[in-house]
Structure 1
Amino acid sequence: MDALRRWALPLLCGGVLMGLALGVRHVQGLFLLPIAFDRGWGRESVALALAAQNLIWGLAQPFAGMVADRWGSRRVLFGGALLYALGLATMAGAQSLWQLYLGAGLLIGVGLAGTAFGVVYGALSRQVSASARATVLGLTGAVGGLGQFLAVPLTQGLLQSLGWAQALLCLAALFLLVLPLAWPLNDRQDNTQPADAAGAAGGSMGAAIRAALAERSFWLLNLGFLACGFQLAFIATHLPAYLLEQGLPAGVAARALALIALSNIAGTYACGWLGGRYAKKRLLSAIYLLRTAAMALFLLAPPSGLSVQLFCAAMGLLWLGTLPLTNGLVGQLFGLRYVSTLFGFTFVGHQLGAFLGVWLGGRLFDATHSYQLMWWLAMALGIVAALLHWPIDERPSPAARLGLAT
């Protein structure tokens, strides 16, 4: 308890920043159809901007991690929030597709790299002692999940009262208000924790990256993480449109996203807690199999408000639980000195999957007028991911931890 009280402020600040960043991303599916109809753009065109956001986020994450590892996380968080606000404002004023791609794709994508879990979890991992790390990361994820939940009714209310463009500007203003929350996440002075003396003993960032890339387990983690990005991005972006296609009222979509975010609070904390007690790779395999089962049952059941609620509650419990587990596994394998950088490289696979999930959802719907094939792809990737995580070797590699592997 003493450890938790000591780290309460950075935990809360990191959770709020992460919750706002992920919450605004979580509700962008609510803007898909209003923007497309108002501007006269096709669904695929708007989906491509959101898909590009996911890909740019993934490509920018290793660089955000490098800056955080070398110069401190709070600078990255501050700059990321500024870029996120600018991206939302640009998106609100977009009169052409290239402006939409600039705001929703490039600026928000880079902003997410600086404000989401890669940097927040890395900062807290270095600030918190090894004994409290799993619990603190789980609690931070739970606070972030609460932020995601609150973003849904907030955004829905703004959309109904102000319209989509003004709603985006209000969300941009929120990012400016939370800029001071980056200050307590000062991990620069703590990036050589005694608990991680091996990882801090020597070795350059380049040597640590080469060591990780030489590890089979690192690649298995990357490939499995692709399925996570595909599933979550597809559901978050296209579930509102899918429910409308099934003849359900528009309000069901907002409640569905809110329920996912609400269940995610308990799910993320539980996964963080379990990750400190059981093999992380086994937990990750279980998450992907349970997600696949939830999607299969959802498709087999007749579309109704009840089936949507049950599906979203189940998916929410499994939503972001992969993140503290994956981040913790990277730190366990390679140490904490360059954990933000190495997690950033792992996250590239996640966001490649996210890009495919968002873009293919729009592409295949325009081609087939159905999301059925996308659901099957998401389930197939879940099974593949479960199989990929199973043979990961969780034992720390001394050469990789020291950054001396060749």
Structure 2
Amino acid sequence: MTIHLPRSCTSGATPWWRQLWVLVLAGGVLMGMALGARHVQGLFMLPIIAERGWTRETFAFAMAVQNLAWGLAQPFTGMLADRYGSWKVMAGGLALYAAGLYGMTQAHTSTALVWSAGLCLGVALSGTTFGVVYGALSRMTGAAQRSRALGLAGAVGGIAQFALVPGVQALLVSTGWVAALLLLAVAMAVLVPLALPFQDRGAAAAPDHRAPDAAAGQPLRAAVREAFGHSGFWLLNLGFLACGFQLAFIASHLPAYLLDRGMRAADGMAALAIIALANVAGVYLCGLLGGRHSKKYLLAGIYLARTAAMALFLLLPLSPATLYAFSAAMGLLWLGTVPLTNGILAQVFGVRYLATLFGFVFLGHQLGSFLGVWLGGLVFELTRSYDAVWYGAMALGIVAAALHSPIDDRQIVRSGLTAARP
């Protein structure tokens, strides 16, 4: 399938490094590495707490703070990207990511771990992942191709995540957790040039020549006030909270859960790798379907399917076969929610302040992530079991599906203009 560039991206003056295929690849790799380094943190938990003498709750709390810091920072990094350009925010986020990973190697107290793995990495993630990368891509692509472009970028990111899982596991075995974190820090610093194509300050004025963006002349404060007064905006927030709870709990605690059930460390690594690989197909498929079908009903279906997958995983006897089947199912449903949620925001409010608005919605996601990671560790320390957290994740999936159905996803009309529809 060919992605056709809008006129703003195909002028003779446009350098090759700002063409859409470069944006998709660069954004996908940058986002995939940032998410991948977070995705593998569950592999680091047991080696770190064994050497430092901490509990699972200590490590889980730092990861929970990371998710909360990510969510709290996302609206502000989105505003910075919308106002000053996405590439500057991405480059700064990568530099901060490298500093946070290095800080983890020097953390000898739980407070230092919270500062490095929690606050530092959380803020870094807000500048290197969905809100900023998808916001820039949405502004620099035409409305007709936007959903597919986001899906492709997510698929590229999924490949990067998949490659990182066995690579990090091999480093943990051969060099130890300190060297593995240091090498990840170097990788983040090396990625900084990938931010350069996203010089998008001038792209917001005309995202598609067929559908002018009504928000282009709207002040930021008015755009935020408009979104806050829209019921669908808050329903997306609440639904995304369930998404964050489910994914953060599984990514952080699944390897330890499997060890507790008598499986090997290699099984946990394989499960995370399968999730990342299946996510490649899942994100692309969701992006493709989002351009043809109702995004809110696709989101409701994803949450129900996740609940069913978790229920079967707990009900069936645990074996490599059931683990890998569960991982494949969850991977297909993993990050497909992000381009669909982003697409609803662009569909309703336009793309001018998309990074900012997605940042506020993503805050709900990260509140759920905070609870999923932290409660996973806390409940385990209190009960020596993760069962209650699994049940909570399934209940939230059902609630999220119900919340998405009544969302009014029609484009807002402003002064005779309509917001761009992807």
Give TM class, smaller chain: over 0.9
Letter paired with 1:300: L
Distance 1:401-1:133 versus aligned 2 partners, 3 A rule: farther
Matched, 1:197 2:212: yes
1:147 to partner: Cα distance: 0.9
Partner of 1:169: 182
Amino acid at match of 1:24: A
Matching residue of 1:272: 287
Specify which structure has the higher proportion of helix: 1
Sequence identity (%):
59
What's the offset of the Cα at 1:351? 0.1
- For 2:157, the equivalent position in structure 1 comes to 144
The alignment partner of 2:202 has SS state of helix
Quote the Cα distance in structure 2 between the aligned partners of 1:25 and 1:139: 21
Partners in 1 of 2:358 and 2:145 — Cα distance? Answer: 20
Q: Does residue 1:306 correspond to 2:307, yes or no?
A: no
After TM superposition, the structure 1 = structure 2 runs for residues 178-327 of structure 1, keeping only pairs within 5 Å, are 178-195=191-208, 197-327=212-342
Aligned CA distance change for structure 1 residues 279 and 166 (closer, same or farther; 3 Å): same
Looking at structure 2, the residues matched to 400 and 391 of structure 1 have their Cα atoms a distance apart, in angstroms, of: 26
Q: CA deviation at 1:188?
A: 1.1
Q: How far, CA to CA, are the matches of 1:403 and 1:324 in structure 2? A: 21
Task: Encode CA deviations 1:185-243: one digit per residue, 9 max, x unaligned.
Answer: 12112111253524344221011000000000000000000000000000000000000
Counterpart in the other structure of 2:28: 15
Q: Which amino acid aligns with 1:70?
A: R
Residue 166 of structure 2 aligns with an amino acid whose one-letter code is P
Give me the whole-angstrom Cα distance separating, in 2, the residues matched to 1:338 and 1:279. Answer: 22
1:15·1:142 contact (CA, 8 Å) conserved in 2?
yes
What is the count of residue pairs matched by the alignment? 404
Shift of 1:33: 1.1
- SS of the equivalent of 1:266 reads helix
Aligned CA distance change for structure 1 residues 28 and 2 (closer, same or farther; 3 Å): closer
The separation in 2 between residues aligned to 1:186 and 1:99, in whole angstroms, is: 35
Cα pair 1:208 1:400 within 8 Å, conserved: no
Indicate the residue corresponding to 2:52 in structure 1: 39
1:74 aligned partner, one-letter code:
W
2:9 aligned residue: none
The answer to whether the 8 Å contact 1:260/1:313 transfers is yes
TM-score, normalization by structure 1: 0.97
Choose which of 92, 115, 140 in structure 1 pairs with 2:128: 115
Whether 2:109 is the aligned partner of 1:96: answer: yes
Read off the aligned partner of 1:219 and give its amino acid letter. Answer: W
Kept in 1, the 8 Å contact 2:235–2:403? The answer is yes
Alignment partner, residue 85 of structure 2: 72
Shift of 1:132: 1.2
Choose the corresponding residue for 2:172, options 159, 165, 181. Answer: 159
Q: Which residue identity lines up with residue 254 of structure 1 in the other structure?
A: M
Which amino acid letter does the alignment assign opposite residue 139 of structure 2? Answer: R
Instruction: Tell me, yes or no, if the aligned pair for 1:56 and 1:105 is still in contact at 8 Å.
Output: yes
Match of 2:356 in 1: 341
How far is the alpha carbon of 1:165 from its aligned partner?
A: 1.0
- Which structure 2 segments of 5+ residues have no match? 6-15
Equivalent-residue separation in structure 1 for 2:283 and 2:172 (angstroms):
28
Using the size of structure 2 for normalisation, the TM-score is 0.94
Q: 2: CA distance between counterparts of 1:248 and 1:300?
A: 17
Equivalent position amino acid for 1:289 in 2: L
Query: Which whole-Å CA distance do the structure 2 matches of 1:120 and 1:392 have between them?
Result: 25
| Cα distance in 2 between the residues matched to 1:401 and 1:291 | 41
- What letter matches 1:256 in structure 2? A
Partner of 2:317, secondary structure, is: coil
Match of 2:335, SS state, is coil
Return 392-401 or 273-282, whichever deviates more: 392-401
Aligned-residue RMSD, C-alpha: 1.6
Matches within 5 A, 1:315-394: 315-394=330-409
For each residue in 1:16-69, what CA deviation from the matched residue of structure 2 results, as whole angstroms up to 9, or x when unmatched?
Answer: 000000000000000111111110011101110001000000000000100000
- 2:4 matched residue in structure 1: 3
Question: CA offset at residue 249 of structure 1?
Answer: 1.2
The answer to whether 1:59 aligns with 2:72 is yes
- For structure 1, the residue ranges without an aligned partner over 5 or more in a row are none
Q: In the alignment, which residue of structure 1 is the partner of 2:146? A: 133
The 2-side partners of 1:237 and 1:373 are apart by 16
C-alpha separation in 1, matches of 2:60 and 2:216 = 46
What amino acid sits opposite 1:81 in the alignment?
Answer: L
**Helix, strand or coil at the partner of 2:4:** helix
2: CA distance, partners of 1:203 / 1:185: 22
2:26 is aligned with what amino acid?
A: C
Distance 2:311 2:271 in 1: 17
**Partners of 2:174 and 2:282 in 1: how far apart?**
32
CA distance in 2, matches of 1:168, 1:330: 36
Q: 1:402 to 1:30 in 2, by over 3 A?
A: farther
How far apart in 2 are the matches of 1:105 and 1:13? Answer: 26
The CA distance in 1 between the partners of 2:336 and 2:409, in whole Å, is 18
Please give the alpha-carbon distance, in whole angstroms, between the structure 2 residues aligned to 1:290 and 1:259: 17
Equivalent AA in structure 2 for residue 98 of structure 1: T
Superimposed CA distance per residue, residues 55-100 of structure 1 (whole angstroms, 9 cap, x where no aligned partner):
0000000001000000110000000000000000000111111111
